[in-house]
Amino acid sequence: MSNPLPPPPPPSTHHHQHQPLNIITPATTSATTMTSAPNREYRKGNWTIQETLTLITAKRLDDERRAKPSTSSPSKPGELRWKWIENYCWDHGCFRSQNQCNDKWDNLLRDYKKVRQYQSSHSQSQSSHPFLSYWSMERHQRKLHNLPTNMSPEVFEALNDVLQRKLNTQQQPHLNQPSFSQSPEQLPLKTDQNPPEVDAPVTVSEESDSSETESSENLDSKTKRKKVRKIGSSIMRSASVLAQTLKSCEENKEKRHQQVMELEHRRLQIEETRNEVNRKGITDLVAAMTNLSGAIQSLIANHYDQT
């Protein structure tokens, strides 16, 4: 169970001057409130490990804040999640925008899943070849296995902690529900184990009736077992279909995100091209005005020379 979000720190009376490369530090803002921060100039380039750990901490606190809201940090209906995370990161020395945080988080999850899947699948395999851990690989070996080349143990452990907390929070409401993970053979079968009592002496006809009763009971128990197996197989098929559907939804979500990023990239290219055209038009206009002014001055000089 995850811990509740601690109350926000009191506002500082001093302004700290950060001097990273190409960074303009604004006034201090509160990470637990949706304070607007205009004129922010965000840092670009590769993320440092400290920035990445700050982002992971912000994501964990935001998950806890939304899962268990409190009076100290209420979750507003129209609040933007990644804006809250941007404000937290900004207050802790990570000068990145909400879009940068969102993209970085998606990349971190993708790399984490690749490393976790590689470690779990190869460590449990019965192959005769010795298992080479991801953390023992060189950069070119990781690239050869189609794995992220720069995942650090600190980042992996922090991501694992956040995801485990989130998984425990999601499974909490389902602890009291019955489990259907048992196989059909483990389900209880209602069969009559005690034979029927007979008061009178058993005759030949009664023996035949008794044998027919036992055979009918055996048929009933076999029918029940078949029904239970059918129910179990139906549950397994439904679970498989559900897993495939969730996987397809996750893949479609990632595709949509990539499409949105491509559209944003194209929009920026069009905007840059339009600005370049405008700048060139202004330059040509200034040159034309200069030429026109020179021609007018030349005409005036010729007129005075003739007079």
In the chain, what percentage of residues exceed pLDDT 90?
33
Tokens read off for 37? 């921060």
pLDDT score of 155: 95
Is the pLDDT reported for residue 30 higher than 70? Answer: no
3-state helix, strand, coil in the chain (%, to 5): 65, 0, 35
pLDDT, residue 175, reads: 54
Torsion over CA: 258, 260, 263, 268 (sign): negative
Of 69 and 44, the structure prediction assigns the larger pLDDT to 44
The tens digit of pLDDT for each residue in 128-151 reads: 677 889 999 999 999 998 999 999
Segments making up each domain of the chain, as ranges:
49-123+132-169
DSSP symbols for 234-298: HHHHHHHHHHHHHHHHHHHHHHHHHHHHHHHHHHHHHHHHHHHHHHHHHHHHHHHHHHHHHHHHH
Task: Supply the pLDDT for residue 128.
Answer: 63
The pTM score is 0.45
The answer on pLDDT for 217 being more than 50 is: yes
Predicted pLDDT at 305:
83
For residue 193, pLDDT beyond 90:
no
* Mean of pLDDT over the chain: 75
Residues 81, 84, 88, 89, CA torsion sign: positive
Whether the CA torsion 71, 73, 75, 76 is positive or negative: it is positive
| 41 DSSP β-pair partners | 24
- Quote the pLDDT of residue 248: 86
pLDDT digits over 223-263, tens only? 878 888 888 888 988 888 888 889 888 889 888 888 998 89
